[in-house]
Structure formats: C-alpha cells, structure tokens
Chain A
Amino acid sequence: AQKITQTQPGMFVQEKEAVTLDCTYDTSDQSYGLFWYKQPSSGEMIFLIYQGSYDEQNATEGRYSLNFQKARKSANLVISASQLGDSAMYFCAMRVNQAGTALIFGKGTTLSVSS
C-alpha cells in the first residue's frame, strides 16, 4: 500500500539556519511524484516543490530543495536560511500514477522558526 511517513511532529530552528524535514514513502510503483506543501496558521495549502521518480537531479525552488534518495525511499525537504515566515505545518505528499492522480499525504511536521 502507498504510504507517506513524516516522523518529526515538530521542529525548531533559529532564523538563518538550514533545516531538514524528513519524509519517507512506500510504493511498489515505478512512476510516482513527490510533493511538499506548506500550511501556515491561516490554513491555505501552498505548493513548494515537486520531484518526479525518474528525475535524476534533486529539485530546487529558491530556498527549498528536495533531497531525493530513491533507494532509501526518502524525499526530505531542505529549507536554507530559515525565515520567521517559514513557521508553518509542512506536508509531504505522493502521487502514484494509477487510475486518478490524487495525493497521499503524511501527517505533517510543524516547523517553528525563532529569532
């Protein structure tokens, strides 16, 4: 069965430091996509970054990068130079290319950035 596991319920980091949010996934499919979303306290879901299973390079989007280790089935999010506005819940999600293209989400990690 497809599953996303985020083992860190909460993470704390100081401004300007880098932080890694862990995500492991389980699927027997060869074709899949991995996503990270940010959910601030206001509730909206903001797309951050995407990695396809066949992409050889790690995805990067500004201060966000995805550390994709296919053999270990991990897709960790790295946020460089944390900012106070990064404080939010972060969700890892997987899309498996079967019938439909819905996302399976992990339980999320709450990131708190302090000054």
Chain B
Amino acid sequence: DSGVTQTPKHLITATGQRVTLRCSPRSGDLSVYWYQQSLDQGLQFLIQYYNGEERAKGNILERFSAQQFPDLHSELNLSSLELGDSALYFCASSTENNEQFFGPGTRLTVL
C-alpha cells in the first residue's frame, strides 16, 4: 500500500459525459501528479500540483482540468468524454524531488 488513495476504482460512462476522479496523497506529500496510461500512448504525465498551485502541465487536453484543495486532495475532471479517453488514470504524490508513490489507479471506460 503506497498510502495514496484514488476513487473510484472503476468508472464506466458514455461519450459526451463528464467524470471526476479523486486522489488523496500520502500524509505529508505536497505534490500531486496525474498520469494517464493507455495502450497506444503508454504512461503520460498530465498535470502536477504543489501545495494547491499548478506546478507543471504535460499532455493534458483542454477538456481535462484538475485542482488541488487546501487539504491537499486533488480532483481530475474529464469532460466531453470520447472513446479514446478510456485509460487507467493514476495519481501520484511525493515530497519535493523525491520518488513518486502511485495510487491504485482509476480505470475509466467510455462506451
């Protein structure tokens, strides 16, 4: 158990819908990262938050957004979902410049 929690574990929805994925980092970790893992794109970095502020952006679509709340949990919002958004979404947390610990992931299926 990495100490990072993610909910829900599985999510099945239809095209055009909007979903929210939730992540609670390890106690004491200020950085939260979101990654997407798909068969064709592999593991891709989406976005990083540090202590409530956006720190870096990767290959995140404009239809996707995220935020980190004062209690340091984070949410990833995916809207206008397409079939190609089906993937495993990971949240990871770390202290600055240290190893990242990953949550169990949310498997999103868009039908």
Question: Mind listing 27 A-B residue pairs with CB under 8 Å?
Answer: A33-B97, A37-B102, A43-B105, A44-B2, A45-B92, A46-B2, A47-B2, A47-B100, A47-B101, A50-B99, A91-B43, A97-B97, A100-B56, A100-B57, A101-B31, A101-B48, A101-B55, A101-B56, A101-B94, A101-B96, A102-B33, A103-B33, A105-B42, A105-B43, A105-B44, A106-B42, A108-B43
Count A/B pairs, Cβ under 8 Å.
Answer: 58
- Give Cα A91–Cα B42 distance, bound, in whole angstroms: 10
Q: Please give the number of chain B residues whose Cβ is less than 8 angstroms from any Cβ of chain A in the complex.
A: 26
Q: How large is the interface on A (under 10, 10 to 19, 20 to 34, 35 or more residues)?
A: 20 to 34
Option from A35, A44, A99 in Cβ contact (under 8 Å) with B104: A44
- Give Cα A91–Cα B37 distance, bound, in whole angstroms: 12
Interface residues of A in 85-115 (CB under 8 A from B): 91, 93, 95, 97, 99-108
Residues of A contacting B44 in the complex (Cβ-Cβ under 8 angstroms): 105
Residues of B contacting A106 in the complex (Cβ-Cβ under 8 angstroms): 42
Contact A104 B45 (CB under 8 A): yes
Residue of B nearest to A99 (CB): B56
